Amino acid sequence: MMKIKAYLLQQMFRPGLTAFFINPFFLGKSAMYINVKKYSKFISGKTLDVGSGSKPYFNLFANVTTYIGMDIEQSGHTHEIESIDVFYDGETFPFEENSFDSLVFFEVLEHVFNPDTFFKQISKVVKPGGNCLVTIPFIWGEHEQPYDFARYSSFGLKHMFDQHGFEIIEHKKYLTDFRLIFLLINSYLYTVFKKYIPGYLAWVLILPFSIINNLLGLISYILPKNEDLYFGNVYVLKNKK
């Protein structure tokens, strides 16, 4: 069972051909993976992964010398198959000032109740001029309940970054086309199924719908993009302190 969980977790974050058939969130997760990989070159040296979980993107960072995963103990999921190096209290990062050359966090900000404190801690532990690579969702359902607190527009995020001394080096919105609709259909179906069907059976039953919607999503890739309605953001930020 542990091996199955580990395999499904891998296909959730690093989706390959198998994930196309077994992951109902393939369209979103693959778009995220592609963009993390694209901008991974900006991360180097000693790096902190905040909300690291299983460190799903660790192998993408070829220029990293030390990679430390930090997470919070009380969250919306268990940590049984994750590789966390340091737990923290949700407010204070347990590191000295200027401890890291780079920092990453993926789909974490929506789970942070006090973003001002969060970014002050990032600014503290990342060296001046150090880079951060982050992904932040925009259109997505509540998850890891009850620890899901916010969604941010790109304008709200820019204001937040400016306020805390982070310069935007790169920014891209991903899944800005009609594939988003099929991703949301899969999410809706899976959420409904798992309310009434226990364990992995819900996952199995949704597979036919997932395959059909993933195929339709690929076909709809040729339709025009809409950058007002999209799945998520990827940013490369520089600490200007």
Q: Over the stretch 122-158, which tens digit does the pLDDT of each residue have?
A: 999 999 999 999 999 999 999 998 999 999 999 999 9
Residue 206: the pLDDT is 77
**Interior CA angle at 35 toward 72 and 109, to 5°?**
30
| Domain 2-239 grouped into CATH 3.30.980.20 | no
Taking only the tens place, the pLDDT of each residue in 183-193 is 999 899 888 88
What's the predicted TM-score (pTM) here? 0.91
Share of the chain above pLDDT 90, in %: 65
Taking only the tens place, the pLDDT of each residue in 194-229 is 888 776 677 777 788 888 888 888 888 788 999 999
> Does the structure show a pLDDT above 90 at 19?
no
CA-to-CA dists, residue 228 to 75, 117, 180, 237, angstroms? 30, 29, 12, 22
Q: Are 77 and 83 in contact (CB under 8 A)?
A: no
> Does the structure show a pLDDT above 80 at 232?
yes
Ordered by start, the domain boundaries in the chain are: 2-239
